[in-house]
Each structure stands twice: as C-alpha cells, then as structure tokens.
Structure 1
Amino acid sequence: MNRKISKLLQPSVQLYFVILILFALASALFSIPLAVLEAVVVLILGLYTRTNGHKRRREITKYIENITGNVDVATKDTMVNSPLPMVIFRPESDDIIWTNDRFLRLTGDREHLFDAKLSSVVPGFDTRWLLEGKNECPDHITFCNRRFIVYGHLVRTGDKGSGFLATTYWVDVTELCETQDKYLASRPVMAVLLLDNYEDLMKNLTENERSAIYSEINARLDAWVADTHGMLRRVERDRYYFIFEEQYLARFIEKKFDILDTIRQVSNPSGIAATLSIGVGKDGDSFQELMQFANLSIEMALSRGGDQAVVRNQFTFEFYGGRSKETEKRTKVKSRVMANALSALVADSSQVFIMGHKSPDNDCMGAAAGVCAIARKKGVPAHIIREPGSPPAKVLMDKLGHLEEYQDCFLSPQEALLLADNRSLAVVVDTNRPEQVQSLDLVQSCNRVAVIDHHRRAATYIEGAALNYHEPYASSASELVTELLQYIADPTDLTRAEAEALLAGIVLDTKNFTMRTGGRTFEAAAFLRRAGADTAEVKKLFQNDLEGTIAKYAIIQNAKLYRDKIAIAVVDHTVGRIVAAQAADELLNIIGIDTSFVLYPDGERIFISARSMGDTNVQVILEKLGGGGNAAAAGGQIAGKSLSQVATELTQAIDQYLEG
C-alpha cells in the first residue's frame, strides 16, 4: 500500500531516458566519441535517479507510516476518551462488544460490559431503527436518570458480510428536555366556568339566600383552584374565567374534574342542586385562540346537557363528567348553539362523510341531504355513504343522484375509507348506536364525529363525538337538521330536491303529521315549504306498487292479538322494510290496538318493526332484544336466531315490560 502511494508521489522518468538513449544511438551515425560521451552521461544520470528514487521512497514510506500510526493512535484515543458515551454491539444477538469509559461510568461498572446484553443494561432500548437504516433513535432514551438522544450506524462484518456491528453515540439532552418540559408545563390554559342552571337555582330566592349560595359556591371554587396559583375571576353573575398553567390540567383530568360533584352538593331551599359546566381551551397559539377554544368547549358542554367538563385542543374535544340527568326540555337556544358548533366543525374539516343507519329510510336520507347543504354552504366537499342493494330510501337517493350538486357524492364505505384523512368529519344521522351505522370503520377512522339523532339513547352509544345533537323529543332527524339549517343557511341555499327530501323525512316519522308533532315540527315544515318543497312530489315518494300493497295487507291479515291491545304479525318470508313499517302503522288504525310488532326474516337476520300510539314504550321493549328507537316507533335487527326464537323473546320482553 505504501509502495503504491510512493509511486504516485514520485514522477516517472523512464520515458526521458529512452529518448536520451535514442539520441545517443542517432549521434553514433555522425560521431562515435560523441555517442560514447552521451551514453556515459545517460548512465550516470540513470544511476543518480535510481539512487535518489530509493531515498525518496524510503522517506515517503517513513512519513506515511508515521501518519498512519498517529491516526490509529488518535482513533483509538478518540474512541476510548470520547466526550460522548459509546457502545459497540451486535444488533442480531444484542451482545455488547465494547464500551468506552464514559458509558461505563454511567452504568457504575468500572471494568467492562463485554459479557452483558445491551437490553439488560438499558431496559427498553429498541435497536430496530438501526436495522431499518436510520441513524438516529426516534425516541429519547431514559437511562440512569438521564435522557439521551442516540445516534448510530451499522458496519458489516465477516468475510461474506454475514453479520453487523452497531456503533452508537449517546448524547445527553437531560437539561434540554427538562427545559422543554418546564415550557410545556407552564403554557397557559383558559377555562370558562358556567353555572348552567342559574335561573332555576336562584328563582324566587331572597337576596340573603342568593348571597349564601353564591358564597358557598365561591368558597368551593376557591378551594379547588388554590393549589394551582391560577387566576379565577367572576365576569358575570353565572360565569367565571380561570387561567392556569397546563401542568395542573393533568391533575384535574385525573380526578375527572371532581369540582362538578362538589358544586352539585350545593342546593337552594327548594332542593335544586347547582350544576357547573366547564369549557377548557389548550394548545392555542395566543390568548385569543385559547378563549375561542374555551368558548367552543363551554358551548359543547351545554349542548350535551351541561354538568360536565369539555377540553378543546387544536384537533379535538375531550369530555369529562356529565353524571346528572339531562334536562328534558327543548329550546331554540340549543338549536342555535348546535348550529354554530356544527358550522365550525364543518368549516374546519377537509371533507365531510355523512352516513345513517343500515338500510336508510327517507328520514335518514333527508337528514343526510340537509347536512350536504350545510357543507356546500361552507365550501367543504361532502359525501354520502351508500350501501349496495335497494334500501328503503332508494327512490329518494336516485332522485338526489341526478342533481348536478350530487354528482360523485355517493360513495361506498370502502371508497370513503381511502379518501379519509386526519381532518375528515364523519356526520352520523338518525342513529346513535355504533353497531347500527353504515360503516363503523369509517366512524372510527375519523378524528371528529358529529351525531344528529332523535332516538332515545340506548345502552350502547357513539362515544367521544365532537358534536352530539341528541334530542329525543324531536319528531325526526330531518326536523333537527332543518332547525340547524335555519341558523346556517337561507331557504334559497337549498335545492328543491333537498327541501323535499327533508320534508319526506318529517312526513315519514310523523305519519303525515299525526304522530309526535309539535309547534316546531310545523315551523320546520314551513321553512322547507319556503325553500321550494312540493308536497305533491313528497307524496310520490311514498307511493306503493300493487305488489307491495297486497303484501302489506297480507301481513295485517296474519296479525294476532297479544294481551288484548298488542298486535304481533310474524311473517315467515322476506318482505320490504317499507312494507313492514307501513303494516305496523296500519295495524294501529284498528280499534282496540295501540301497539304493533311486525317480524320478518331477511338473510341471516330477523327484522322487527314496532309502533305505539298509547302508553307502551316500544323502544324499551326492543332494547331487550338489541333494538332501539323512541317511545312511538322502534326497530331492531337480530342475528343468529330463528324467527320463532325472536318471537318468543319478544313476548317475554313485552311481559317483563307490562309487569314492571
């Protein structure tokens, strides 16, 4: 190796000597003495050059050997006395090959670690990042009460490259991490505290009684915030602002915001307990954004019934508390709050996926069309999930599909999953149960979910929704969406087909405005009428063919009375869902019948359609079979059981309900 280097550094003179010899031979043609003289000179020059070349090569070799030795010494000294702890190990077997003194001092071992496994010395250290070709460990490593960033690289060993050696360098970043932790822990958090039942709590009380309740509430709040060194100020009669550092938020979350239970212990002379709602904003880039997050959180807490805490960060909501019974009243304020919240969610989303329950009906599809109108108003792409086959709302879906606004709007669940990203919003309408949605995978893959439903809450529920407009006293999901539209869009923003779809949903669930109707139901219908809905076109959506009409009355003909006022029709063949629902409705037109059930098989599942116009709550009955709905209209799908088994279980559930 050294000879090669010396040859590269020494100039080649062979060509020059060849030319000189040729000149000497040429001179012999003219003068022999001159040629001999030239030959002698060339010989002397050759001997000198050779001797000098050997001397130069010895000097170069000595210099290179000196440099190489110094580099080797420097390399060894650098590894041994490196300012960074170093470890060389085999990633396949985890065997430690060599460590420098600095790493030994970290472990407290003064001799060596050659016989040890790296995983036993540094528990939890994963070396897969080296095998994946990375030069930096993706996570900080905590070792000997210090935190390190680990850098490293692989070198092949063996004649055939059969193994690897990994060299790692451990950079201590403990102080940097501690500074970062202190920064994160000291970031400001804004909270809005609201006495959500202030009017009921202070109603008909004297000034002294009000002052006593205020004092007790303030004392409990002061005790709750005392350890945080934060600032709590009352800004209105029922509203407080609370600013504190983020390090204390984890403590509140760990205790599930126990101040909610503490405040609930305060009551007025009439026995009404005080309830508190908390909206927390964190991760904001400014105090203004923190306040926006806090206000959005408090609105969300109120829309979910109050008596709970909602934490809002840059991406999502977190919910805590909510133990007290939700107030059974319906106000325009709630609709406005939910409209603002839904509008903000849609505007902050990259796209909106809308779905309802399996086998969607006209109410489900009408509500979905209304949400599409909201998304279009906000300039956000919207897609409706469509199942294969012929659902009850197929006629309405086909009608919407021909509109220019709904071109490429309908997607299968698989297509929607491919399009979903971290800013997608899933809106579930006309159901609140995860097992009934058209695509549970899509709901779970979206970071933000909104639920708009009028069915009573069942045992299973879509948890963690960013927005939950759950109003069991509304006639239909279409009515709820129509009320939201009144605060977000104008009647001219809806297409005529969308207005008719929403009106069809209301007509379906109210049985032509005869069941579960209130003043706001007709207000919603009037809004849709102003938007261009044609009642004659809506009527066409409910027309039956002759075959369906015959099937409906065949079901009625086979119905049997159970416990005097309950009609149960068991059909041993598959019928349309619309036909079964219409048969259940028609049974209520018979004198003496106030409750009806229609059972029929469809594939491997048994479907139940239930209706009531009296005191019987069919939703409670079908809950025992895995169904749901509301007091007047409910349904269920039972898998893995025969028709006779389901019929027997239904009668048992009816008996339990009536006896209870």
Structure 2
Amino acid sequence: MKNIKESPNEIENDKSFLWNRRWIFICGMILAFLYMALAPSSKPINVMILVLLCGIYGYNEYKIQHLFLQRHLNKIKRILPEDIRIPANMPLPYVILGKQKNIILYNEAFAAIFPQKNLEQADFANLLQEYKPNVFWQIVAIGDTAYEIYSQKSEVWDSSKNETIEVYSLCFVSQAEKKLLKQSIEEQKTVVGLLFLDNYEEVVDSLDESRLPLLTAMIDRKLNSLAVSVGGIIKKFEKDRYIFLLSRGKLEELKEKKFEILNEIRELSVGDHIPVTISIGIGIGDESLELAHKNARAAMDLALGRGGDQVLIKTGEKYLFYGGKSGEVGHNARIRARVKADALWELIGGATDVLVMGHKQADFDSLGAAMGICPITRTMGKPCHIVLNTVSAGIDSLYNKIIHTEGYEKLFVTGEEASSLLTDKTLLIITDTHRYSMTEHPPLIDRAKKVVLFDHHRKSTDFIDNAVLIYHEPYASSTCELITEMIQYFGEKIKLKPIEADALLAGITVDTKNFCMKTGAITFEAAAFLRRNGGDSIRVRKLFQNDILSYKIRAAIVKNAEIFQDKFAISVCEEEGEDALLVTAQAADELLNIKGVTASFV
C-alpha cells in the first residue's frame, strides 16, 4: 500500500488552468452584455450571442470536470500496487473496480468489448449482470463470445480520505482466443525424428562405385530441401542415418501430404541399382525432448520390424503408420540366419527341456514351424512339447499324421499341462506370432525365464519384448522359411523326419499361396532343401484336401458372389460350424482368381 500526496506544482498548475479559463469566460460575458446594451434592436444577433455564451459555458465546465477526473485517475494509478496496475499495451481486456463496483481504470481492449457504452462512470454491475463478485474465476457471455474472468482483490491507501480502500482487478480471456493460443503452442512444440536408409548396403553392392557419391549427394539434397521446406533442421550422424527436428504444426503438413518423401527417395536413380528406401520414426513427447527422442527410437524399431519403407509416429502409447507399399526388404538375411542359428543352439543346449507355442487358431505355418524345432531338440537330446489347446479344422489332417508318428504320440500338451512342466530351466519358443495376446497360452510367457521368438509378420505395437532371442524378419514368406534357413546352417547333424519336412513345406506353401506371393530366392532354396530332406509335395497337397461338404460350401460361396465396382467380390457363407472360418478363407482366396477382382470379402 502506498500513501501519495499531491505535489505543489500539480496544485499550482490546476489553479492556473482554472483561473485562465474562468477569466476568458468572464471577459466574454462582459463584452456580450455591453454589445446588447448598445444595440438593443439587433435581436437576432443578441440571441446568437446568448447561444454562443451558453456553449462556451458548457464547454468550459466540461473541460474543468475532465481535468479533475483525469487528476483523480492519475492519483488512483499512483496509489495502486504494482501487481494490479494495467500494463502498457496489454492485449487482454483489463479493468479495475472500486468497492461499489464502479469502474476506475480500463484499457482499450476492455473498451472494445463494450463499444457502445460510456465506461468512465459506468456501474459494472449493470454493465455485466452475470458477473459474480468475490469469485476468482468465472465464465460469462458477452455478446456471442464467452470470456473467462480472473479477478483479484487488493487494498490500497487513499490519502485524500485518509483510509484504506478496496479495489478489484479483473482480466478477461476470450475462450476462442485461448483455444487458438493453446493450438498455436501445440503447433510450435518440437518433435524428434530419425531417418534411416533401409537398404544402404544392398544399394552399394548393386551400384557402380563411381556413382555412389552422386547418389549420396542426391539423397542429402532431397532431405535437406525437405527440412528447409518445413522450417526444420536435419543432421547426418552416420552414412545411412539422420536425425531431424521440426515443429508439430509442420508435421501435420507432412501427414496431409502422406509423406511424399518416401516416393521421392525411392525414385532417385543414377543408373541400374536397387531402389533406395527409407524408414522414418517420429517421436512426440509433450514433457521433454528426451521423451520425444525415446518415442522416435521406438517408432523406428517398429518401422524396421515391419519391413521398412514407411513412417511411424509415436505419441504416448499410440502409433500412426504411413507408407510401407514397396514390400519388405531382406537385410543381410543369410548372415542373420546363421547368427540366430548359433544363438538358438546355445540356448537349447543350456535348457533342460523346450516348450514350443504358436498362436491361437493354429495354422500350417504356426504348427509347421513348431515341428521344425523338434529335430533340433531331438539332436541335442532335449525333451520338447508343443502347446496346443484346440485343433482347428485347418490343421486337423497334419495334427493326426503327427500324433500317429512314432515318438510323437505325446508331443502335444495343453496350456495347463505346459504350466506344470515349466521350470526355471525351461526354454519357451514362440512361433508365427509376436503378439502376447495372440499366443496359445499367454501366462507361459510371464512365467518363463527365457523366451525365444520367431515370426515373419509385420511388427505391431504389443510386441513381446522380453525375449532373449528374437528372429523377426518381415521379408520372409513364412516362419517355416526362417526355421528352415536355420536348420540348413546346423549341417548334417540335423536329420529331418518326413513328417517334419512335410510340416515345414506345408507352412511355406500355404503362406505363399502355392509359391505365388511373397516369394524370394531364399523361399525356393528352403523348399528345395526340404524336398532333398524327405519333404514330398504330393503328401503336402493331400494335407490341404477338404471333405465333400466343405467343398460344396465353398462352391456355393463363389457361386453367390457379387462383383461391386468391377473389382470387389462380395459373398456370404450361410453355413455355421467349426469349418466355417476355414471355408470362408478358402472361398475368399478363390474369388481373387476371378479376372479384374482386386479384393474379396466373405
């Protein structure tokens, strides 16, 4: 609180101002009356003189009142504490009220809210009837706009009255402007991105050495141009790796354009070489840049796990996916297969027994891959069991052949039985899935001390990340292909039984749709290896045979199909039962054989 007295100069200036104005007015009155006395017959002129005198009198009194009002306001400004004075050029509407809610001070932004009102002597209670006194925060509607009002009560010392008075400072915040401000703040937050060249080594091997600097320069120029266009920065920290920063608002622009940089990099060419593909992991962390970088790394790991050539954005626990159109790329696949084979051999050697578990509703790839583990454990003298709760209609033919094979009569156990077999020395191997919830018996993962994972599906967000060995290759046609690759590196010490080779070959055949989809050189090499080691394509084909009822149901689905927009085949399976899911899948595949059909729905 402050006690401010008026200075002598202020008082003298005010007296001089009042005396000058009154002296001018008195002189004017004397001259006017003298004229009217000397010329009484000039009535129109006399009337004009009286009107002029009244005008001069009114204007004089207005200026006098304005002077005292201005002096009063200046006095209030001086005695108000610093924390409730109106800052210069404050953009938010601001007003200071007296104890009786009379307006003392306000800024131009506050006056703009009430453009038709005379605010200097206005009663705030009448001006804004919705206002509730002594409430720190409230929302009121003024016209079509909602405002948040923040109020503060203060006490100041009034020297003229020799007492403490109460004043209230009110700040108005438009909710619409507040929303825009919050949006602007969000858009200015920094996000962290990682960018990797997926297949750098493969591109180098396929490119003439003299052209490599040119291709590298083209890639760098394209990425730098992208960074400049979005107002960001990008830094190359390895020959095939970059880190970049940009605002969240500019990230939205890239999302709207579906990250065209993926196609632009893929189209770069300096000759006959493998197209360059990139993966981008972007992290958003509201709390810190450290969290944003952590999210970017997690997004990049998932992008590479899904095969590359795509963009993943991670914020919190949510992921957004863009791209991934060029198909998976194998990165030094043979080297990794050999490394994983050696690691698996050591893990099985250090275990007392092995449990193999696939996914729910097991298919040929899941069961075939599990069977591929059996010859390895048999060679090393380790007991092995496959966890299978229910036998789906699709694999019953293979299942029946397995359980009637010598030595495999008690190969399969349920999830509960596997729990009783599990010890600290048990090795749990998961095949054809990397998702916790999709496994045949998830509690086994929680209890197992050592978990190994083999899968070829694109990586999802609920990845089993506590495995001691992960062989996850989206480039592969099937998990059976991955297992077969590793078996080849064990050499002649692994001897396959015909049922094991058939199971692996069946898994590859189904997932490649008879070697038509997602096949590569390694796929055919794996099939040839299995054929040399006892696999038989005729026996495998018989595993896929259906009974006459299933065949009729599938034929009915195809017969009743309708073609929509010349490219979509749509049909319905009227039958119910255990075979319905398998038959509908077979029918959907069959519909894709129709000329012009690009997608089928059953």
The TM-score by the shorter chain falls in which range? 0.3 to 0.5
With a CA cutoff of 8 Å and minimum separation of 6, indicate the structure with the bigger relative contact order: 2
Q: TM-score, normalised by structure 1?
A: 0.43
Question: TM-score, normalised on structure 2?
Answer: 0.47
